[in-house]
Amino acid sequence: MDPLTHFLDGPRAVGAFALSMNMSAPWGLAVHDEAALTVVVVSRGRALVNEVLLTAGDVALIRGPEPYSVTDDAGSEPSIEIGPGQHCTTLDGRDLQDELRHGVRRWGNASDGETSLLVGTYERPDEAGGLVARALPRMAVVPHNEADSALVALLEREIANDDPAAQVVIDRLLDILVVSTIRSWVDDPGRSEEPTWLTCRDPLVAQALGYLHADPAAAWTVERLARRVNTSRASLAARFRVGVGEPPMSYLTRWRLTLAGDLLLSIDVTVSDVARTVGYSNAFAFSTAFKRQVGVTPSEFRRRRPALSPAG
């Protein structure tokens, strides 16, 4: 499996929060929902997402859990706050859920405002795919001429559908839209972001990444990896740094710990099991490396995410 395929295999929405948001200016939302990944599509009008202007047909992927803002194109100050669980209030805490609801999956300060957005949210990293949630930039935007308008139209139709089966269709369409948007974003030659393995176009480096992704627990060294791709150690190191933005072994450590974060979302494996799976000989060495990258120990990471267990 090539790296991008491995990455795109992640999104698995389950009862995803999705709605059509209709707004009439002035309006502004401060979003503090702590969701792993949010999809925003402008279906009519214009909006600013984190002060980036989106016009009709544009699609944005917003990586959480950090807060962000969505406002009219004039950048009006937010007067509405969206909290965890998509709870909607005024800034001083007054509940707006019923006041702004206009039917099944329809919400906003107007029933037919000049701006209409489709919003789909992956609440949890295991639904978005931990690799998706960690490898994307803070916000990835695909303009209308590169987005899949037919797919967006299907999603808009299902969001408006009150049939009980609509939620299942929405989940799958949301997954496909995420994958389609990432593919378009990766293929955009005009991106200004720093290089990552997602955007690497060097075939030799892509081959090396494929080996690391396929067997992260192996005892890799730069020399061993260079032999696998039939090049010198120095050449691989130089091309890898240019294509990915960091040295091969530094990347491998981050890849192992990213995978570890996904594995820790399951209550069915121990920390020692996770350590072995991602290439650490003992739980202590794994815990030290994990805390260095994530900021908390594996056990603390797991305790902070009780909603991710199968029982949740």
- Of 157, 187, 217, the last residue of a domain is 187
Residues 131 and 80 in one domain: yes
pLDDT at 286: 94
Residues 229 and 124 in one domain: no
Tell me, what amino acid is at 190?
G
Q: Is residue 76 part of a domain?
A: yes
State the average pLDDT for the chain. Answer: 85
Residues 182 and 217 in one domain: no
Pairing between β-strand 17-23 and β-strand 106-108 as defined by DSSP bridges: parallel
Residues 172 and 208 in one domain: no
For 22-49, the pLDDT digits (tens) are: 999 999 999 999 888 899 999 999 999 9
Q: Is residue 67 part of a domain?
A: yes
pLDDT at 1: 46
Q: What is the pTM of this model?
A: 0.72
Residues 113 and 218 in one domain: no
CA gap 307, 312 in Å, rounded: 5
pLDDT at 309: 34
Q: Give the range among 61-70, 150-159, 186-195, 251-260 with minimum mean pLDDT.
A: 186-195
Residue 125's region, left for phi above 0, alpha for psi from -120 to 50, else beta, is alpha
Q: Give the range among 49-58, 144-153, 262-271, 301-310 with minimum mean pLDDT.
A: 301-310
Residues 160 and 208 in one domain: no
Q: What is the CATH number of the domain that holds 145?
A: 2.60.120
pLDDT at 278: 92
For 94-124, the pLDDT digits (tens) are: 999 888 988 888 999 998 899 999 999 987 6
Q: Is residue 299 part of a domain?
A: yes
Region 205-217: what's the mean pLDDT? Answer: 89
Task: Indicate if the alpha-carbon torsion angle 50, 52, 55, 57 is positive or negative.
Answer: negative
pLDDT at 297: 92
Region 169-189: what's the mean pLDDT? Answer: 84
pLDDT at 275 over 60: yes
Residues 140 and 252 in one domain: no
Domain hosting residue 79, numbered range: 8-187
DSSP code of residue 307:
G
Q: What is the CATH number of the domain that holds 250?
A: 1.10.10.60
